Amino acid sequence: MSEPVRVLVVEDEAVAADAHRLYVERVPGFTVAAVAHSAAAARRALERTPIDLVLLDLYLPDGHGLQLLRGLRSMGHRADVIAVTSARDLAVVREGVSLGVVQYVLKPFTFATLRDRLVRYGEFRAAAGEAAGQDDVDRALAALRAPRPADPPKGLSAPTLDRVTQALRAAGEDGLTAQSTATLAGLSRITARRYLEHLVTAGLATRAPRYGQVGRPELHYRWEARG
């Protein structure tokens, strides 16, 4: 059995860092080797602990994450990086790519989003080695840019999916039926159910029958991707 990917979580906010740690630990094949709340702490962790992958928040109290990464590369550290940021600046993205950032995750994100990035990274890492030809290279790179399972398939629109998602998340532990979702999102019950089923298939929601006093049980959907 292959060794798990050793992850360093770098996040200045303690609550977010703990959530990210829990997210990573839920993905088979990954383990959190260390958690750092600053660039200085991240450097110390990388000096003391073998790390394969850094989950790096770009905005740290003692410096920008890319500055940290630039310093690590100059010292010859070759750990891969998944950058976590709320910034949508493409210049930052380009610089990160040049420094070896293999994936970006935009805040706020769900467990399903990070799981998707980690699974893709794991596939990319598993494909490492000598390539027999161009097809092998293409397959390895394709693992990093595969479409996210949460993206709406043909026939479903992103704005409508957002409305359904927001309604389901707001419902919390109680969840929603297709009819109540339809009412909140301004859709027909059949349409609402299609979107809810998509979220279930994507691993972002669960469904379970709920029995009332009379009649057939009613399916209740609940948002699941919270960690």
Tens of pLDDT, residue by residue over 111-143, are: 878 888 898 898 888 876 554 455 555 555 555
Checking if the pLDDT of 12 tops 60, the result is yes
The continuous run of DSSP H or E covering 185 comes out as: helix 178-185
Beta pairing class for 80-85 and 101-106: parallel
The architecture CATH gives domain 158-223? Orthogonal Bundle (1.10)
CATH of domain 5-144: 3.40.50.2300
Helices (H) and strands (E) in the chain, counts: 9, 9
**What's the pLDDT tens digit per position in 198-207?**
888 877 888 9
Sequence ranges of the chain with CATH classification 1.10.10.10: 158-223
pLDDT given for residue 1 in this prediction: 47
SS3 109: coil
Checking if the pLDDT of 16 tops 60, the result is yes
Sequence ranges of the chain with CATH classification 3.40.50.2300: 5-144
Q: What is the average pLDDT across 42-48? A: 94
**What's the pLDDT tens digit per position in 51-110?**
999 999 999 999 999 999 999 899 888 899 999 887 666 777 788 888 888 888 877 777
**What's the pLDDT tens digit per position in 162-188?**
889 888 888 877 889 999 999 999 999
CB-based contacts of 193, cutoff 8 Å, min separation 6: 178, 181
